[in-house]
A = this chain, B = another copy of it.
Amino acid sequence: MARPDRLFRLLQAMRVLPAPITAARLAEETEVSLRSLYRDIDSLRAAGARIEGERGYGYRLIEDYALPPQTFDRDEIEALALGLAEVKRMGDPALAKAAASVLAKVAATLPDDREQHLFHAVSQVYRPDARFAAGLDMDLVRQACWREEALAIRYTDKAGATSERTILPLAVVYTEGTLTVLAWCCLREAFRMFRADGISQLRLAGTSFRPRRVVLLREYLAELQGRRTG
């Protein structure tokens, strides 16, 4: 596939997987032939990475500040937020406190408040009884959330009525026994929750709602607050 991207993934793999790691394993991980993997290792070394290889043993990456830093990507942040939300309600006070602390630390390192909103949205909306299996391609939905692109969906509600809608997805929420998409519904002009198992068709509509996203999230959170206190 795309080589440059692959090199970054290779580097990540070497950081993430326990050392020592064999070339064969890395080749599998990055989906290339063994020969290409040796070439990739070469490239990384040429780019300045310190990779130690021992015959009959495996590779070891020596961490180096010249390399691109270790980061959490958005999937990972979402997993963190979700997992920590779960821990918070498990009932162990010390751990709950620790979870909150981790949450705060990670939130503090996020670049702009857009991500922070996503972060808080997910963890606030989270509800206990999540027991679900992912039906359709939720990753596409999550991508749409991050890239702030509208989605065109066919949706069947609880009553069985089917409709075609364009939605502006804000966050994937883990609630009420199923995966749910929190979105602004362009049909109803209101915030709606769409259960994943009700979505039968799904594609990127191709239009961006970048300017509105933060505003929408803020509005939604305000609405939540109002409902709670009012």
Task: Give the one of A7, A73, A79, A106 with max B CB within 10 A.
Answer: A79
Chain B residue contacts of A179, Cβ below 8 A? 92
A105 within 8 A of B: yes
A222 within 8 A of B: no
Nearest B residue to A9 via CB reads B47
- A interface: dominant SS: helix
Q: Are A66 and B71 in touch, CB under 8 angstroms? A: yes
A46-73 residues with Cβ-Cβ distance < 8 A to B are 46-50, 62-73
Nearest B residue to A40 via CB reads B4
A34 within 8 A of B: no
Residues on A facing B (Cβ under 8 Å): 2-5, 7-9, 11-12, 15-18, 43, 46-50, 62-73, 75-76, 78-80, 82-87, 90-99, 101-102, 104-106, 108-112, 130, 132-134, 138-139, 142, 174, 179
Q: Are B8 and A91 in touch, CB under 8 angstroms? A: no
Interface pairs (27), CB distance under 8 Å: A4-B43, A12-B101, A15-B108, A16-B104, A48-B73, A49-B68, A62-B112, A63-B69, A65-B106, A66-B70, A68-B109, A72-B105, A75-B98, A75-B101, A76-B98, A78-B95, A78-B98, A79-B87, A80-B80, A82-B86, A82-B90, A83-B86, A83-B87, A86-B87, A90-B132, A91-B132, A92-B179
Chain B residue contacts of A69, Cβ below 8 A? 63-64, 66-67
Contact pick for A65, options B50, B72, B84, B174, CB 8 Å = B72
Tell me, in angstroms, the Cα distance from A168 to B186 when the chains sit together. 60
Chain B residue contacts of A4, Cβ below 8 A? 3-4, 7, 43, 47
Taking A46-B2, A90-B174, A104-B17 as contacts, is the C-beta distance between A80 and B71 under 8 angstroms?
Answer: no
